[in-house]
Amino acid sequence: MAGRARALALTMGEPAGIGPEVALKAWLRREEHDLPPFVFLGDVALLQALASRHRWLVPVVEVPSMAAGADTFSHALPVLPVPLAVPPEHARPDPRNAAAVIAAIEHGVALVKAGEARALVTNPIHKAALYSAGFTWPGHTEFLGHLDGLSEAPVMMLACPDLRVVPVTIHMSLRRALDALTTAEIIRQTRIVHMALRRDFGIDRPCLAIAGLNPHAGEDGSMGDEERTLIRPAIAALASEGLTVMGPLPPDTMFAAHVRGTYDAAICMYHDQALIPIKTLDFAGGTNITLGLSFIRTSPDHGTAFDIAGNGSADPSSLMAALRQAASMADHRAAWRAA
């Protein structure tokens, strides 16, 4: 496989959450699930203590580089050290460790931008714990855009084998989302998704489904006119650029199995319109993908899960899916560049 010699960079995320646990479990299942090599960016002692506590047979080895980590991965979990200030307590994020969490993200971005890492996979963070260290960004995605030098926000895609969705408005109240939704933003994000599907997913001519905002997609204006005033103009503009777009589709039917097979990604108007269907279809195996960056970034589609942190029950399925997704996208992007 193209690019297989290089490893993925995996950040530790919030050390008091389940990120370190699912990293250990993913390594244990590396052969069973044909996982690409990855190097953990975080605290060596944290992983060693967790593996010892649960009697997981995971040799944890500090490595000097991503290349050394790729060579180590078959027989040990390689770690590029990012030491924590204090040993974490499960489910109790400590502000003293915030700087290390941020440093791991910054280091991962630097590695992938320098070509030393194949792609970036990030474990979930706990934003409230990071604010004490000067973290001012709304979330991971915005921070990565800042580190990549973007002038506009990246685009968030959620993906599983049966569905890809993009919420145009994300972490805001529904009332605020209605005010924030614009024709220009629908066009901007759909263009980014179209390019990503071609370059990073290997889909030559993607078809994009544009969701309506109102019940029954407005039903000719009787249930709202945003389809007419905001969404249809965006669809017309995108079609004039040669993109294959369909809609606005009624949100209550567009995610049915017989409809999902007619498009490659759904552009949704607000957060829950996108996330409810994908989490219903594949709660454990969905992945979060950031589009519009100069590098590839994926993440598990779950949070820090403090309610189960430390008890050994965390499911690594989403992290494993994120690792496989990142490797697949890296291969497609390499082929795109070669062509």
Both 47 and 166 in one domain: the answer is no
Neighbouring CB atoms inside 10 A of 258's CB total 7
Q: What is the pLDDT of residue 139?
A: 83
CA triplet 20, 24, 25: central angle to 5 degrees? 115
What are the residues whose beta carbons fall under 8 Å from the beta carbon of 285, sequence distance 6 or more?
Answer: 160, 161, 317, 318, 321
Q: pLDDT (tens digit, 9 = 90+) per residue, 307-322?
A: 999 999 999 999 999 9
Q: pLDDT (tens digit, 9 = 90+) per residue, 322-337?
A: 999 999 999 999 999 9
pTM: 0.95
- 86/308 Cα distance (integer angstroms): 21
Both 167 and 195 in one domain: the answer is yes
Both 198 and 129 in one domain: the answer is no
Q: Is 111 helix (H, G, I), strand (E, B) or coil?
A: helix
Annotate 151-163 with DSSP letters as a single string.
Answer: SS--EEEEEETTE
Q: What is the pLDDT of residue 220?
A: 82
- The widest CA-to-CA distance across the chain, in whole angstroms, is 63
Distances (CA, A) of 172 to 180, 181, 193, 323: 9, 11, 21, 28
> Last residue of some domain: 281, 296, 318?
281
Annotate 64-83 with DSSP letters as a single string.
Answer: SSHHHHHHHTTTSEEEEE--
> Last residue of some domain: 253, 281, 309?
281
Look at 218 and 279; give whichever has higher pLDDT: 279
Structural domain containing residue 229: 162-281
Q: Across residues 178-197, what is the average pLDDT?
A: 97
Both 99 and 189 in one domain: the answer is no
Both 259 and 225 in one domain: the answer is yes
Q: For the stretch 185-197, what's the b/e string if a residue is b when 16 or more beta carbons lie within 10 angstroms of its beta carbon?
A: bbbbbbbbbbebb
Both 53 and 73 in one domain: the answer is yes
Q: Domain holding 206: CATH number?
A: 3.40.718.10
> Last residue of some domain: 240, 257, 281?
281
Both 198 and 215 in one domain: the answer is yes
Comparing C-alpha atoms, which of 109, 138, 121, 125 is closest to residue 13? 125
Surface-to-core class of residue 3, CB atoms within 10 Å of its CB (0-12 exposed, 13-18 middle, 19+ buried): middle
Asked if residues 307 and 20 have their Cβ atoms less than 8 Å apart, the reply is no
Which of 37-41, 167-171, 194-198 has the least mean pLDDT?
167-171
Asked if residues 58 and 4 have their Cβ atoms less than 8 Å apart, the reply is no
Both 17 and 76 in one domain: the answer is yes
Confidence tier at 2 by pLDDT (50, 70, 90): very low
Both 112 and 255 in one domain: the answer is no
Radius of gyration of the chain, Cα coordinates, nearest whole angstrom: 20
Distance of CA 286 to the CA centre of its chain: 9
- For the chain, give the mean pLDDT: 95
Both 22 and 151 in one domain: the answer is yes
- 241/20 Cα distance (integer angstroms): 45
Q: What is the pLDDT of residue 33?
A: 95
pLDDT of residue 1 exceeding 50, the answer is no
Q: pLDDT (tens digit, 9 = 90+) per residue, 154-176?
A: 999 999 999 999 999 998 899 99
pLDDT of residue 266 exceeding 70, the answer is yes
Both 252 and 199 in one domain: the answer is yes
Q: What is the pLDDT of residue 124?
A: 96
Q: pLDDT (tens digit, 9 = 90+) per residue, 134-154?
A: 889 888 889 999 999 999 999
Both 9 and 143 in one domain: the answer is yes
pLDDT of residue 4 exceeding 60, the answer is no
Q: What is the pLDDT of residue 109?
A: 98
Q: What is the pLDDT of residue 134?
A: 84
Q: What is the pLDDT of residue 61?
A: 98
Q: What is the pLDDT of residue 217?
A: 85
- 277/255 Cα distance (integer angstroms): 7
Q: Across residues 39-65, what is the average pLDDT?
A: 97
Structural domains of the chain, count: 2
Distance of CA 100 to the CA centre of its chain: 21
